[in-house]
Amino acid sequence: MIDTHTHLFTEEFDNDRYEMVNRAIEAGVTKLFMPNIDVSSLPSLKKMCGEYKGVCYPMIGLHPTEVREDYKSQLDILEKELANNSDYIAIGEVGLDLYWDSTFKDEQIDAFHTQIGWAIDSDLPIIIHSRAASNELYNTLLPYKSTKLSGIFHSFVGDKAEAERLMEFPNFLFGINGVVTFKKSTLPEVLEDIPLSRIVLETDSPYLAPVPYRGKRNESSYIIDIAKKLSLIYDTPLNDISSITDDNALRLFKKVSGVL
């Protein structure tokens, strides 16, 4: 299995990072894709991916909650890093987050457009974080609908109407994580309208641990519990869930599959 979204390089794993990676490998996780947060997170991201080449793969981007007054200087640094380092497999995670604070809404949209440009210019997929910004996300992406832009709607938890709108973007997949296992989640019903060919697995570790670990620190080895839930939802054998979602991920992440 491929965990397409995990933050194993963050401080939550400082005490047992390497044990946790080994647990993931023992659980059948073959690849770990790691989205960046901001300029300050780059050193730990690069260090971990350097130590686990062939297992851990880095992305580069500025998370929307980190977009503040200095966002343009951060983007300048990240853009130079992207130009000088060929290891990055995607632009991410980027997007819009208006859940806690909309003070920098315009700056978030501007930063999002800038990083979409990076993705198109470098022919890399883009990993999109969206929270409390459904309409803003759709309107920002609409001008790129007929371009080669591709990516993942990370941690998708929208309703059927939102899923229908996002399905309009044919080069995008839906990242499904532990939320799908939550008792009150409506995601299982929404997934009835999203084909398995548009799904990838993710944990978003250390956040959103699936049942039976809900409320605890999440880790990549728990991805098996997400796959098991999808097996029930799609009435598909677990091995097929793993192989189909892996194929979907590798089709998108061309650098990992060797296409790019």
Contacts of the segment 140-143: beta carbons below 8 A, 24+ positions apart: 140/96, 140/109, 140/112, 140/113, 140/116, 141/116, 141/169
Residue 167 has pLDDT above 80, yes or no: yes
Sign of CA dihedral 194, 215, 249, 174: positive
Q: What is the CATH number of the domain that holds 9?
A: 3.20.20.140
* Confidence bin at 221 (pLDDT 50/70/90): very high
* Torsion angle of C-alpha atoms 169, 142, 176, 244, degrees rounded to 10: 20
Please tell me the predicted confidence (pLDDT) of residue 259. 62
Q: What is the pLDDT of residues 56-113, one digit of tens each?
A: 999 999 999 999 999 999 999 999 999 999 999 999 999 999 998 899 999 999 999 9
Residue 115's domain comprises 2-257
How far apart are alpha carbons 181 and 227 in whole angstroms?
Answer: 10
> Using one digit for the tens of pLDDT, what is the confidence trace for 16-53?
999 999 999 999 999 999 999 999 999 999 999 999 99
The tens digit of pLDDT for each residue in 245-254 reads 999 999 999 9
Count structural domains, the chain. 1
Q: Which DSSP letter does residue 79 get? A: H
H or E segment to which residue 2 belongs: strand 2-3
Report the alpha-carbon distance of residue 78 to residue 108 in Å, rounded: 15
Q: How many CB atoms lie within 10 A of CB 143?
A: 11
